[in-house]
Amino acid sequence: MGALLFFAQTVRIAIPYLFAAAGGALAERAGVVSLTLEGFMLGGAFGAVLGSYYTHSAWIGLVVGVAWGLGLAAVHAVSAIRFKADQIVVGVAINLFTVGITRFFLQLAFGSSSNSPRVAGFGGDGVAGAAGFLTNPLIWMGVLVMPVVWWIVQKTTFGLRVRAVGEHPMAAASVGVPVNRVRYVAVLASGALAALGGVYLALDQHQFTDSMTAGRGFIALAAVIFGRWDPLRAGLACLLFAAAETLQIQLQAAQLIPSQFVAMIPYVLTIIAVAGVVGRSRAPAALGRTED
Amino acid sequence: MNATLKRTIEEAVLPPLVALVVALIVGDLLILAYGQAPSAVWRLLIDGTWGNAYGFGQVLYKATTLTCTGLAVAMSLRAGLFNIGAEGQLAAGGFGAGLAGLALPAGTPAFLAVPICVMAAMLCGGLVGAVPGALRAKFGAHEVIVTIMLNFIVLALLNYFVSAKLHVPETLHTPGVHAGGLPRLSNLIGVFHGSAANWTIVIVALAAVAAWWFLFKTRAGYELRAVGLQPDAAEYAGVNVGITWRNALIVSGALAGLGGINFVLGYKGYYEDGFSGGAGFLGIAVALVGRNHPLGVVIAALFFATLSQGGLAINAMVPKQIVEALQGIVIVAVATSVPEVRRILRNAVSKSGGQH
């Protein structure tokens, strides 16, 4: 029973990471840097609460959340691909913008600087146990998202094109791959996927709280890099990071390790991975470069 | 005016102007959505910042920190690297200054205590910068990834030190420094009364001049810029690219760390968890708008500081968070229009050149 509880808790924590990392893997494989995952998630979370609050439907919340993610991703895609803006700068700016605009609308819509009222989520109200776990469609989607993205990247024509434009855009263009169009699709998909992570967070907690994603988008990015830009490995990295968090929560009473040190694990592992101490983690060759 | 200089100025000035127009339009829409009159809100923003001594002092205070983080990012970009770890380096610098000020005995004369605390700040920031620098030089690890990850590690570590080891009970700040505190500007110029502007501004102005001198007047600065423009060519010409990268990130981290004294020595007199509050990330915007030139960085820091302080000034009419959204929009618009403006200007030049 303890093991089952641990597993359930780990999956619960991993779901937002899995969605966002799936988006990150897709965009980065297409050569577009995904510093924006945090902003996409936060936008998705806020959109979900707006939609759910005004319609009392979690599904409409999901749609509105994804629309927020798509909108933010469109800004990122147009500036990075059409205008060849620096993707890192735009990524940081989109995160900043999203924090500000969600706070602004939190005030405008709900008259609060900290949180929204309670909204409808998936499954029963306040069901914390196995029932709530199994009736939440986002959990099922989150569990399946990485295998599906892996299949798309590795086994479909579109995935081949994504990999081609991320490694050798010139070569891809010379054999007729519409480089920019592939990148637009990949970035928009990353916006929608990361937003789903935010939708899950907000609807699971039945409310939006200020900056509620709290760096989860960066943990997802760390998982992508730690997983060497491979969706399946990135998914495993998400589970690993989530398991560490679960362990920390369960050991909190014992005070064995300060929580700050557990929180560092994903970041430390990622630095070790990019430093190549145990097997170099290599980015797609054209990552961050849209000029060619 | 000489044509190259004219184009350089156009390239530097046009993108921020485009960004300003975009931000004004979006800002108008947001203000209207909140049921207020845009003109009244904008007037309040100007009145509350450049319109009175207190507001202006606050702008100067915020611009001081942003100048440091902006210089830090600019220094790294001049070497062709992107340090997005200024947030953690700024916090580490503040922590270093706070620790040094705590360790010194009370009554240490300022001419000793201040330089020691300043050096502690730069040392701590520089140490945090040295990690991505060394990993880049030794293993080719991408500095963007390392600096992002390091931000979280440094902030968590500092949070641990403060919350578990050093805090004043019921708070998340350390005890006050015994020595090294910097006086407020209001002691000298009375009208600044109440504002946090302090003598850090002089130290940071000197740092900006030093950064300019280093980049444009010294051999090491020339090599750093050469590496940033063409690492392969610089290597071929005998510059050690790895060492240059490492040193650039150390200097960059030290500059961001220096910014920590503004809050710790100049304002509160202690280190407080979370004081950096995004100023490290805004440094990216400051460097971008300031075109990686120390003078441009100072001007851009004043601009972003005006927006930050302006948010507080207009909070009675519209939520102050509107300025965070506008800052994001300004950055996106500048980043987007920089390459476009450059392309348009270059095309114009090649066209007029073709007409003989």
Decide if A271 and B140 are in contact by the 8 Å CB cutoff.
Answer: no
Phi, psi of A115 (to 5 degrees): -155, 160
DSSP 3-state assignment of B85?
A: coil
DSSP 3-state assignment of B198?
A: strand
* Residue-wise burial string across B263-276, b where 16 or more C-beta atoms lie within 10 A, e elsewhere: bbbbbbbbbbbebb
CA distance A250 to B41: 50
Q: How far apart are the first and last CA of chain A?
A: 55
Residue A254: what residue type? A
What angle do helix axes A157-167 and A2-29 make, rounded to 10 degrees? Answer: 70
Instruction: Provide the token pair at A146.
Output: 């990485």
Portion of chain B with pLDDT greater than 70, in percent: 98
* Residue A280 maps to a domain: no
* pLDDT beyond 50 at B354: no
Q: What pLDDT is attached to residue A192?
A: 98
Q: Which residues of A touch B319 (CB under 8 A)?
A: 103-104, 107-108, 113
CA-nearest residue to B277 within chain A is A96
* Residue A291 maps to a domain: no
Q: Which of A86-95, A257-266, B57-66, B100-109 has the lowest mean pLDDT?
A: A257-266
Mean pLDDT of the B51-74 span: 95
What angle do helix axes B279-289 and A87-110 make, rounded to 10 degrees? Answer: 120
pLDDT averaged over chain B? 92
Q: Which residue has the higher pLDDT, B82 or B352?
A: B82
Decide if A92 and B281 are in contact by the 8 Å CB cutoff.
Answer: yes
pLDDT tens sequence across B141-180: 889 989 999 999 999 999 999 988 887 888 888 888 888 8
CATH number for the domain running over B60-317: 1.10.3470
Instruction: Provide the token pair at A41.
Output: 């998630």
pLDDT tens sequence across B202-240: 999 999 999 999 999 999 999 999 999 999 999 999 999
The string of DSSP codes covering A179-210 is: HHHHHHHHHHHHHHHHHHHHHHHHHHHTS-BT
Domain ranges of chain B: 1-36+320-356, 60-317
Q: How far is A240 from chain B (nearest CA, A)?
A: 17
How many Cβ contacts (< 8 angstroms) between chains A and B? 144
CA distance A77 to A69: 12
Q: How far is A188 from chain B (nearest CA, A)?
A: 17
Decide if B142 and A97 are in contact by the 8 Å CB cutoff.
Answer: no
* pLDDT beyond 80 at B351: no
Of the candidates B110, B181, B151, B176, the one whose C-alpha atom is nearest the C-alpha of residue B256 is: B151
Q: What pLDDT is attached to residue B83?
A: 95
* ipTM of this complex: 0.91
CA distance B335 to A187: 18
Decide if A93 and B159 are in contact by the 8 Å CB cutoff.
Answer: no
Domain range spanning residue A116?
2-275
Q: What is the largest CA-CA distance in chain A?
A: 60
CA distance A229 to A162: 12
Long-range contacts of A171-175 (CB under 8 A, 24+ apart): none
The residues that bridge with B184 in the sheet, in sequence order, are B198
Question: What is the 3-state composition of chain A as percent helix, strand, coil, each rounded to the nearest 5?
Answer: 75, 0, 25
Residue A127: Cβ within 10 Å count: 15
Choose the closest CB to A260 out of B131, B159, B321. B159
Q: What pLDDT is attached to residue B159?
A: 94
Q: How far is A126 from chain B (nearest CA, A)?
A: 32
Q: What pLDDT is attached to residue B356?
A: 41
Phi, psi of B173 (to 5 degrees): -130, 160
CA distance A205 to A190: 23
pTM: 0.92
Given a contact cutoff of 8 angstroms between Cβ atoms, the answer to whether A281 and A225 are in contact is: yes
Q: Which of A85-89, A286-290, B116-120, B321-325 has the lowest mean pLDDT?
A: A286-290
Q: Which of A265-279, B119-133, B305-319 has the lowest mean pLDDT?
A: A265-279
List C-alpha distances in Å: A142 to A50, A127, A247.
22, 19, 21
Q: Which residues of A touch B144 (CB under 8 A)?
A: 33, 88
Choose the closest CB to B281 out of A96, A113, A215. A96
* pLDDT beyond 50 at B271: yes
Tens of pLDDT, residue by residue, chain A (292 residues): 578 888 888 999 999 999 999 999 999 999 999 999 999 999 999 999 999 999 999 999 999 999 999 999 999 999 999 999 999 999 999 999 999 999 999 999 999 888 999 998 886 555 455 556 777 889 999 999 999 999 999 999 999 999 999 999 999 999 999 999 999 999 999 999 999 999 999 999 999 999 999 999 999 999 999 898 999 999 999 999 999 888 888 877 666 778 888 888 889 988 988 887 555 556 788 887 765 4
Which of B336, B340, B343 should be substituted to probe chain A, the one whose Cβ sees the most A Cβ atoms within 10 Å?
B336
Q: How far is A111 from chain B (nearest CA, A)?
A: 10
Choose the closest CB to A99 out of B140, B324, B326. B324
Decide if A108 and B142 are in contact by the 8 Å CB cutoff.
Answer: no
Decide if A267 and B335 are in contact by the 8 Å CB cutoff.
Answer: no
Given a contact cutoff of 8 angstroms between Cβ atoms, the answer to whether B75 and B351 are in contact is: no
Q: How far is B196 from chain A (nearest CA, A)?
A: 24
Decide if A97 and B284 are in contact by the 8 Å CB cutoff.
Answer: no
Number of domains in chain A: 1
Q: Which of B140-144, B175-179, B190-194, B333-337 has the lowest mean pLDDT?
A: B190-194
Choose the closest CB to B135 out of A267, A268, A275. A275
DSSP 3-state assignment of A254?
A: helix
Check which CATH number belongs to the domain holding A216 and give it. 1.10.3470.10
Instruction: Provide the token pair at A224.
Output: 């992508």
Round the CA-based radius of gyration of chain A to a whole number and report it: 19
Choose the closest CB to A100 out of B145, B163, B325. B325
Q: What pLDDT is attached to residue B210?
A: 97
Per-residue pLDDT band for B123 (boundaries 50, 70, 90) equals: very high
Q: What pLDDT is attached to residue B170?
A: 81
CA distance B16 to B56: 22
